[in-house]
Chain A
Amino acid sequence: MHIPDGFINVPTSVGFGAASAGSLWFSLRRAADYLDDRRIPLAGLVAAFVFAAQMVNFPVAAGTSGHLLGGVLAAVLVGPWLGSIVITVVLIVQAFVFSDGGLSALGLNVFNMAVVGALGGYLIYSLLGRVLPSTRTGLTVAAGVAAGTSVVLAALAFSLEYAIGGAGGASAGTVAAAMVGVHLLIGIGEGLITGLVVGAVLSARPDLVYRTPLAVAHG
């Protein structure tokens, strides 16, 4: 899912980069209101874990793999604003240190994975939380389903970027259909990993999870 330099033209990259920068600025402002001496190391740990998990590509179809994006995982554990910042830091380290994702495409990648993936995914998680029971199982299922859906949304965001300024002349509709198809499969892996980790943290330390319902925190 990390876009290299060259796939999307510069004007499109700049446009989405500006949207990502605005979102990051707003996220930093909002996250500052709930930063404390426990949340900061916790966010660091979530960033480190997402970086690690992104290295582990799993096979999804013949000749194709996928890996965790981690937006919903981070947003559920440390809150949407801090979660979005966490994913942005992971993408910055990957682009600058590991040449994973282009530098000119950084704004695009932040848009797809931190804005759409983490903030958009958290919105789905909150909506699911209204219909699912406020229990550990309910929250775990909501996180898993939101995570899987967020991967498809990120794939659609790439498809939009490709339709606006993509290189190579492939049909935008074909690219979008193929992106959604493959990322439905990758989304299943995303959902399973996210559910597993969120469920484990809710069992071990529900009080560390952002806005845990009281019934779960003290159950």
Chain B
Amino acid sequence: MDSRTRIFLVGGLVIAVLVAGVLSLFASGEPDGLERIAIDQGFDEAAAGPALDSPLADYAVRGVDNESISTALAGVIGVVATLLLTVGILKVVQKRRRPGPGTST
């Protein structure tokens, strides 16, 4: 990969980390469109709690008391996890589809 592309990718990742780790602290805490309608139309109580007990549930790190640090940390972990999972899945897909050495298609 050429260095310009590498710089673009690293720069983009820095922006993603800043959005998840800093800008997210200024996010509106109001219910989103679907939640608002569920409340207004009376079906919000049908929501079941999460099936998994994740230590990062609701974008907060369990055990971190400072709310801002907790959100920021959860955001950065999410950015890294999403990046790695996407790249990992696509590498597997690429490897399975690419013809082996010496085979012609």
The segment from A15-23, A121-129, A134-142, A167-175 that touches chain B is A167-175
> Looking across the interface, which residue of chain B has its beta carbon closest to that of A3?
B34
Could you say which of A4, A56, A175 contacts B48, with CB atoms under 8 Å apart? Answer: A4
Contact B33 A66 (CB under 8 A): yes
Given A32-B97, A49-B12, A97-B54, answer yes or no on A63-B31 (Cβ-Cβ < 8 Å).
Answer: yes
> Looking across the interface, which residue of chain B has its beta carbon closest to that of A29?
B97
A49-60 vs B, Cβ < 8 Å mask (1 yes, 0 no) = 111110111111
Residues of B within 8 A of A205 (CB): 4-5, 8
Could you say which of B51, B57, B78 contacts A51, with CB atoms under 8 Å apart? Answer: B78
Interface size on A, residues (CB 8 A): 75
Q: Number of contact residues on B: which range applies?
A: 35 or more
Could you say which of B30, B52, B97 contacts A57, with CB atoms under 8 Å apart? Answer: B30
Contact A65 B28 (CB under 8 A): yes
Top 3 closest A-B pairs, CB basis? Answer: A168-B43, A167-B46, A52-B20
Measured CB to CB, the residues of B under 8 A from A are 1, 4-5, 8-9, 12-13, 15-17, 19-20, 23-24, 26-34, 36-38, 40-52, 54, 56-59, 71, 74-75, 77-87, 89-91, 93-94, 96-97
A-B contact pairs, 15 of them (CB 8 A): A31-B90, A35-B93, A44-B82, A45-B83, A48-B82, A63-B31, A63-B36, A64-B31, A65-B29, A65-B31, A89-B85, A98-B56, A168-B41, A170-B41, A182-B36
